[in-house]
Structure 1
Amino acid sequence: MNPYDEIKRGEKGAWVSISAYLVLSALKLIAGYWFASGALVADGYNNLTDIVASLAVLIGLRISQKPPDKDHRYGHFRAETIAALIASFIMAMVGIQVLISTIQKLIAGNEETPNVLSAVVALFSAVCMGGVYIYNSRLAKRIQNAALQAAAKDNLSDALVSIGAAIGIFGSQLGLPWLDPVAALFVGAIICKTAWEIFYSSTHALTDGFDESELMTLRQTIVDTNGVKLIKDMKARVHGSQVLLDVIVQVDPMLTLVESHTISDEIERRMKQKHNIMSVHVHVEPLAAADTNAARPAGK
């Protein structure tokens, strides 16, 4: 399956998330205000930011499906990353607002004991988001889509946040009304933490950062390719949900052009089969005499 078909399938996960967040955010906000639960209201606003984040992922997936053109020779895959970056700013703004409003209530001493039904709503939401997480996680692994994997992690954190809100509400029923706003502070902190993680990963990708341990894994696959004597240089960068790989390998100088090209084709095939990397630029050079000691044993 080509990357564009995979991205198209990834849209299903984004729509599932958006639908769940629309229903649950409305339910939490209504129940939170009706039953006087700050934690549930904060969780509702958390889900509102998730709607924006999921919409950003969906828009990014749509734009990234555009084929390469004269201005975008590598395609439009980075639209996913830019959309996620925008979503992180919106999530941070909402998270900070939740923290500020909750702290103001704590200082003012406006602590109310919420109705126990608000805890039931929170637990119901946790179960729903747990189901969405399982669906998106399995779909992301099946199609190997990084954007959908990030969305699945967000689904899981939302389920945990709802459990935290329920704990705060139940605690207030035991004569500890301050537990509900404390749970709201926890939710606000989770929103800000998630926003920071999305911001960091997005900017890291946009500045061509690449995980060193993953690069070593890719390097090992190339080193194990029959005919490769030495890797002279290797670079990788993230382009949306795709990885672009450039590598210079040295081979036996006695090989013909056709034989060297066969090694290049084998590297591309192994990268696609083992790591789902579609764009691999392989440059083949003859092994210099000075590099013989650094090369792998002959026959490899």
Structure 2
Amino acid sequence: MVGEEYQNLKKGETGAWISIAAYLLLASLKLFIGIIGQSKSLQADGLNNVTDIIASLAVLIGLKIARKPPDHNHRYGHFRAETIASLIAAFIMMSVGIQVLFEGLLSLYNGKTDSPDIITAWTALFSALAMYGVYRYNNQLAKKINSSSLMAAAQDNRSDALVSIGAFIGITGSQFGLPWLDPIAAVLVGIIICKTAWEIFHDSSYTLTDGFDEEQLANIKKTIGATPGVIALTDIKARTHGNQSFVDATITVNPELNVVESHRITEQIEERMLTKHGIQHVHIHIEPT
């Protein structure tokens, strides 16, 4: 099963590379068309994609480090490098979101609301459809391999698609005598980027501080408590390392059981945890009643 963990991380790298390739293409296209077509929102969208390249590279590096096997000072492996990569991506996205928001507001304040060329609208729409396709791929892959950093990248892909839709609406509106819609769309782009960055930051910091979903923990308790031979579950802790969960539990059993019989109970618990919850890192401490 350990080999499967590293294979999943390898698959996650494919999703990161797809994001990088898409961002390189779309960032170049948006910035070029945005400048010649005089669209603030499309330029903001293109600048967003430039930083997305950096964020995707951070995710890619995190996935590569996470694939390193345990060593003398990383006994649990390097899985948390993946979560750290998500945190770095969040910081990058937040800094860009604030910059885009500031420039959009500045454009509105200065009254620079020239109507952009219609080609910028079609570029934004094309970009939205392309990024939605990348989002669908990465979202499904992240769920399949249970990758937090790839899920963060997928959320970024989705926000980028929404950003491009917003730019399309703003640019189209400016063609009907409402040129101020374009910088307003740029402001909305900044807000969406900041919101997505905050969500990724919240999830990453929650994981790094050993936060664990209460509902999932309750289901784990039921599984352990229902295992034959377990009299009571007296203590349980769980934490997440990248795409892996680690569970430590203390159970009470019949004091008349010998070591072999007690060990069989722990093996049953480990088997059930893997089958029902996909958790293969389980440490069970046994105490007599």
Give the TM-score category using the shorter length: over 0.9
For 1:140 and 1:195, the matched residues in 2 are separated by 18
After TM superposition, give the deviation of residue 253 of structure 1 in Å: 2.7
Q: 1:207 aligns with which of 209, 215, 230?
A: 209
Secondary structure of 1:231's aligned partner: strand
Question: What residue number does 2:23 align with?
Answer: 21
Structure 1 outlier segments of 4+, above 6 Å: none
- The normalised TM-score by structure 2 is 0.95
Counterpart secondary structure, 2:252 = strand
Native 8 Å contact 2:83 2:204 kept in 1: yes
Q: Which runs of 5+ in 2 are unaligned?
A: none
Report the RMSD for the aligned CA atoms in angstroms: 1.4
Is 1:97 equivalent to 2:99 in the alignment?
A: yes
- Out of 179, 191, 194, the position equivalent to 1:177 is 179
Shift of 1:208: 1.4
Decide whether aligned partners of structure 1 residues 173 and 41 sit closer, same or farther in structure 2, where only a CA change above 3 A counts: same
Structure 1, residues 17-54: CA drift from partner, whole Å, max 9, x if none?
Answer: 11111111111111111111111111111212221111
Q: Does 1:68 align with 2:70?
A: yes
Residue 271 of structure 1 is matched in structure 2 by: 273
Matched, 1:283 2:278: no
CA separation in 2, counterparts of 1:202 and 1:117?
38
TM-score under structure 1 normalisation?
0.91
Tell me the equivalent position of 1:221. 223
**The one of 113, 119, 140 aligned to 1:138:** 140
Q: 1:186-233 CA deviation, whole Å, 9 max, x = no partner? A: 110111112212222222222112222221122222223222221100
Q: How many residue pairs align between the two structures?
A: 287
Structure 1 residue 93: deviation in Å? 1.3
d(CA) in 1 for partners of 2:121, 2:219: 46
Amino acid at match of 1:179: L
Aligned equivalents of 2:192, 2:59: Cα separation in 1: 20
The offset of 1:267, in angstroms, is: 1.3
SS in 2 for 1:112: coil
Quick check: 1:87 aligned with 2:60?
A: no
- In 1, are the aligned partners of 2:42 and 2:167 still within 8 Å (CA)? yes
Residue deviations 1:47-93 (CA, integer Å, cap 9, x gap): 12221111111000001111111111101111112222222222111
Moved more, 150-159 or 164-173: 150-159
In 1, the alpha carbon distance for the partners of 2:30 and 2:106 equals 21
Distance 1:213 1:15 in 2: 34
Q: Matched residues in 2 for 1:177 and 1:220: separation?
A: 59
